[in-house]
Chains A and B, each alone.
Chain A
Amino acid sequence: MDRRILAVALTSLSLSAVSAMAAEGSARDAHAAPRQVRSAYFGDLHLHTSLSLDAFIYDTRTTPEEAYRYAQGEPVSYFGREVRRRAPLDFLAVTDHSEFLGVLPLLTRPDGPYADSIWQRMASSCDPGVLRELFMKLNKEHPAQFLTPSLVRSQWQRLIDAAEANYHPGKFTTFVAYEWSSTPDRQNLHRNVIFRGPKFPERPFSSIDSEHPEDLWSYLERQRALGIEVLAIPHNSNLSNGLMFANADSYGRPISRAYAERRARNEREVEITQTKGTSETTPEISPTDEFADFELYRYLLGADTRGKIDGSYVRQGFGRGLEIASRVGVNPFKLGVVGGTDFHSGLSSTEEANFPGGHGRIDNAQHPEAALSAKLTGVGKPLLFAASGLTGVWAERNTRESIFAALMRRETFATSGDRIQVRLFAGWNLPADLGSRSGWVSEAYARGVPMGGDLRPPPVGAVSPRFLVWALKDPDSGNLDRIQIVKVWVDHGVSHEHVFDVTWSGNRKPDPKTGTVPPVGSTVNLQDASFTNDIGAAQLETEWTDPDFDPALPAVYYARVLAIPTPRWSTYLAARNHLPLPADVPATIQERAWTSPVFYSPHP
């Protein structure tokens, strides 16, 4: 009797990812819904291999092919040790720096075209000082011999070939991509450039071509005119010294409507978390947000000087985008969120308990003293690097087309490395009991908008928008503590923020004055770096209405999911090597997920 029911239900199953159909959902329900039910897929859109100049200088020798193998759960050799991801990823984009892409591996070949040259001698040096000198020399002098069209094209083709060879539609998706690494005066303006395929450009546009994002957009627009779909994803706004979400363009002119339109067209996502820090917010920007101090990296690239906070964090960027929109009519920062690792190891390794290090010899876990050091290296302070993050997408299938479409409509979320799933819907007439109905996901799509979408002005009679938010823990990690909704809005041209605790585990009572829910507690044993799931919840879900809604004021709403405290990678590393716990970072972290916002505008 079960056979036939099974056969119907099984037709839509995705094997490589968790299908997130609602409890009783079958293939038939899914197809009957106005939009196909989408599943969560997890991946990384930001990773470097030995083809990146800096990664090679850190002694990383991992190839793009090995990077794709590791992401699929296969073992790869890293500094002579076999390493392996426990939970494979569903997709990966290798994003090597376009500047001198693949040049160093070529330089060091004794039988290559640079045999016996001064370049080869420098590149083969084991003296970090000489390697640093080589790095500076290339970046300062831009030697024409390493920028010839044939050399650039051949190395770019290597990236394309590796992505094509490892693309298994339905099982594992790769993207042809690269990183545009504009860093004027150590201020990070980097963008990852992701191509949908199947057509790709002849060569990347690098920061040697131009350091201005506006020129990168011109390149992207030219590609689109040729039928090549592409988008740029900025990252490390935290290292931008205030430039990423400045009120001005890269020439210092106030943001115009034309600029806002171009930026919104070319950049629909921003990377909110990665190894060199989480860029959501800081305690200075959000003094009442008790979870704002999370994996912050406050120094400029490879420097000991702190960057400007103002203009450097995404939450503030959301508010500033609304402010600028109220002046010029278009929101330049209408961004969804993604997470990436930015590791320079070729290994997308976000598992805290299984972290081999992310920057070659600089933070190699085989040398725990170095990895646990807070001293400044060429790239930064190893101890402060996070084992973060991942991108979650809500997509119909695990294919380039489906995932790229999710990026374009911003139906994405970021996590600090755990595979936490989170859904967010907003609407004017979501039923109060929607979350407990079977097949609620299809209904939520039909009656509301998902993360990344636009909430239209209220229909007659509606007072305040309703939100449905749901989260499921990573089955390999800690339970969930709470879900919050972060609201950012603009009143008289000035932005404000508020964080609401909307649902939480256990029987905790919110503070009657502030509404803040007390901490979930901790089960972590620091001696052996272990924890239990005796606190927290596997799943959280609630419906929420904004108590302070004013239909005249533009606003964005996004959800933040917090897990219970678990050991940070540095705690696992210290415990395993019987070393003291490092003092400069917390021993435990609350892994988390951030959704893309829902955007409310009073104007239709």
Chain B
Amino acid sequence: MSKRLIRDPVVRFLALGAAIFWITHLLHHSSQNTAQRIVVDAAQVRRLSQLYQAQTGAAPSQVEIDHLVDDYIHDEVLYREALRLGLDQNDDIVRRRLVQKIEFLNSDLAAAAPPSETELRRYYSAHAAEFAAPAAVTFSHIYFAPDLRGEVSARQAALDALRALQTQPNPAQRQVGDPFPLQRTYAELSAGEVAQVFGHTPFVAALFAAPVGQWWGPIRSGYGWHLVFVSHRVEQRIREFENIKAQVAAAAAEELRRRADERGYAEMEARYFVVREYAAQVRR
């Protein structure tokens, strides 16, 4: 009897249907169950306790832990409901927060590995000029003050004085020109240091182009006209790797970090196809 029943196609159909119904019901039920589960495990409690301690300076008591867990559950329920309703979408604050998080994550990853000695040397060879000691100049000058002579006459007086100095190379130089309120001689100034004293003026480039060991000019500074006597000039000097290792390491690490940041962003950007629709609107 039972065997016949089992063989009965109608019964079989019904049984199969019931089984399917039961299984899907089970599946559905269990998935609903997971969605509603909020698990507070030991690790989570530890995290909550640590946060509490960081903010108050004291470890939480058992009563406080219970409160912390209750608060956590309360927030978690609201959080999940908010997600279910899609409240995280189109929210500037959430967006900015996530952007911050991934930026921190990326720069942490980038900062992970300090450059090796080989990498440092390679970086140094490629950037030796940036670590070079700058060119420097030692010079005297004679000042011709537009305040006292006017712009054109000051320049002319400088030209006349230059001619006199060239034909009579050993005069009492101090009788020539006008008093200069700062120094008449400067030692080993870089271009930046010359600009700091005389202004970002044609004076700077001219000083570094002037012939050594003779009076030259006139050239214009932020104060007026000058004749210059360059007694000594050193060109930019490459500094040995060993002497500036720490400096190279700092620059290389910075460079690596920057490159890694850029690479990380480029990889992410490559996953997107950007459509700039506003451009078409603007053109129209």
Using CB atoms and an 8 Å cutoff, list the residues of chain A in contact with chain B: 1-3, 5-6, 9-10, 13, 15-25, 73, 86-88, 108-111, 113-117, 121, 124-127, 130, 145, 148, 436, 438, 470, 472-476, 505, 534, 537-539
Inter-chain contact A23/B55, CB cutoff 8 Å: no
B101 at interface by CB-CB < 8 Å: yes
- Stretch in B178-186, B238-246, B259-267, B268-276 touching the partner: B178-186
Give the distance in Å from the alpha carbon of A115 to the alpha carbon of B47 in the complex: 11
Contact check, B57 vs A109: say whether CB atoms are below 8 A apart. no
Interchain CB contact (< 8 A) of B200 among A130, A145, A476: A476
Q: Which of B22-30, B61-69, B117-125, B223-231 contacts A (4 or more CB under 8 A)?
A: B223-231
B231–A126 contact, CB under 8 A? no
Of B9-17, B32-40, B82-90, B138-146, the one contacting chain A is B138-146
Asked whether, in the complex, the Cβ of B187 is within 8 Å of the Cβ of A6, the reply is: yes
**Is B174 close to A, CB under 8 A?**
yes
Known A-B contacts: A22-B181, A476-B200, A538-B147. Give 11 more (CB < 8 A): A2-B229, A2-B231, A19-B182, A23-B184, A117-B51, A124-B97, A126-B93, A127-B93, A145-B56, A474-B222, A537-B147
Q: Pick from A88, A475, A537: contact of B199, CB below 8 A.
A: A475
Cα-based distance from A472 to B147 in the complex (angstroms):
12
Task: Digitize B173-198: 1 where CB-to-A-CB distance is under 8 Å, 0 elsewhere.
Answer: 01000011111111111001101111
Inter-chain contact B140/A538, CB cutoff 8 Å: no
- Chain B residues, CB < 8 A from A23: 179-181, 184
**B181 and A470 form a contact (CB under 8 A):** yes
- Say if the beta carbon of B92 comes within 8 Å of chain A: yes
> Counting CB contacts under 8 A, is B96 at the interface?
yes
Given the interface contacts A148-B57, A538-B146, does A110 sit within 8 Å of B101 by beta carbon?
Answer: yes
Closest 9 CB pairs of A and B: A475-B222, A475-B199, A113-B54, A10-B187, A23-B179, A538-B223, A537-B147, A476-B199, A126-B96
Task: Tell me if B198 and A539 are in contact (CB < 8 A).
Answer: no
The residues of A that contact B183 with a CB separation of less than 8 Å are 9, 13, 19, 21, 25
Q: Are B231 and A6 in contact (CB under 8 A)?
A: yes
Contact between chains at A24 and B174 (CB < 8 Å): yes
Tell me which of A3, A116, A124, A534 contacts B231 (CB under 8 A): A3
Q: Tell me the smallest distance from the CB of A437 to a CB of chain B, in Å.
A: 10
For chain A, what secondary structure do more than half of its interface residues adopt (helix, strand, loop), or is it mixed? loop
B interface with A by C-beta (< 8 Å)? 51, 54-57, 92-93, 96-97, 100-101, 104, 138, 140, 145-147, 151, 170, 174, 179-189, 192-193, 195-201, 221-224, 229, 231
Chain B residues with CB under 8 A of A110: 100-101, 104
Say how far B127's CB is from chain A's closest CB, in angstroms: 15
| In the complex, chain A residues whose CB is within 8 Å of the CB of B140 | 2, 6
Give the residues in chain B near A13, CB-CB below 8 Å.
183, 185-187
Give the distance in Å from the alpha carbon of A90 to the alpha carbon of B121 in the complex: 33
Which residues of the other chain, A, contact B189 by a CB distance below 8 angstroms? 15
Residues from chain A with Cβ under 8 Å of B104 in the complex: 109-111
Chain B residues near A505: list those with CB within 8 A.
147
Please, how many angstroms separate the alpha-carbon atoms of A13 and B197 in the complex?
12
CB pair A125 B222 closer than 8 Å: no
Q: How far is the CA of A115 from the CA of B50 in the complex (A)?
A: 11
Shortest Cβ distance from A483 into chain B, in angstroms?
Answer: 13
17 A–B pairs (Cβ distance < 8 Å), ordered by A: A6-B187, A9-B183, A9-B184, A10-B187, A17-B196, A23-B184, A87-B196, A111-B104, A114-B54, A116-B51, A121-B97, A127-B93, A148-B57, A472-B181, A475-B198, A538-B147, A538-B224
Q: Which residues of B contact A470 (CB under 8 A)?
A: 181
| A117-B52 Cα distance, complex, nearest whole Å | 10
Nearest-neighbour CB distance to chain B for A360, whole angstroms, equals 16
Query: In chain A, what residue has the closest Cβ to B104?
Result: A110
Give the residues in chain B near A6, CB-CB below 8 Å: 138, 140, 185, 187, 231
A440 to chain B, nearest CB (A): 10
> Which B residues lie within 8 Å of A87 (CB)?
195-196, 200
Question: Could you tell me the distance between the alpha carbons of A16 and B194 in the complex, rounded to whole angstroms?
Answer: 10
User: Is the beta-carbon distance between A125 and B179 smaller than 8 angstroms?
Assistant: no
Residues on the B chain within 8 Å of A21, using CB: 182-183
Are B197 and A117 within 8 A (Cβ)?
Answer: no
Is B138 touching A475 in the complex (CB atoms < 8 A)? no
Q: Please, which residue of chain A has its CB at the minimum distance from the CB of B95? A: A126
Quote the shortest CB–CB distance from A389 to chain B (angstroms).
19
Distance in angstroms between the alpha carbons of A20 and B180 in the assembled complex: 10
Within the complex, the shortest CB–CB distance from A180 to chain B, in Å, comes to 26
Q: In the bound complex, how far is the Cα of B196 from the Cα of A341, in angstroms?
A: 20
Q: B57 to chain A: which residues have CB within 8 Å?
A: 145, 148
In the complex, the chain A residue whose C-beta lies closest to that of B187 is: A10
B181 contacts A473, CB within 8 Å? no
Query: In the assembly, what is the distance between CA of A87 and CA of B195, in Å?
Result: 8
Contact present for B180 and A86 (CB under 8 Å): no
Complex contact B222–A476 (CB within 8 A): yes
Docked pose: A20 CA to B56 CA in angstroms: 56
Which of A114, A121, A126, A472 is B55 in contact with, Cβ under 8 Å?
A114
| A contact residues around B221 at 8 Å (CB) | 475
* CA A436 to CA B179, docked complex, whole Å: 9
Distance in Å: Cβ of B91 to nearest Cβ of chain A? 10
Chain A residues, CB < 8 A from B138:
6, 10
Chain A residues closer than 8 Å to B92, beta-carbon distance: 126-127
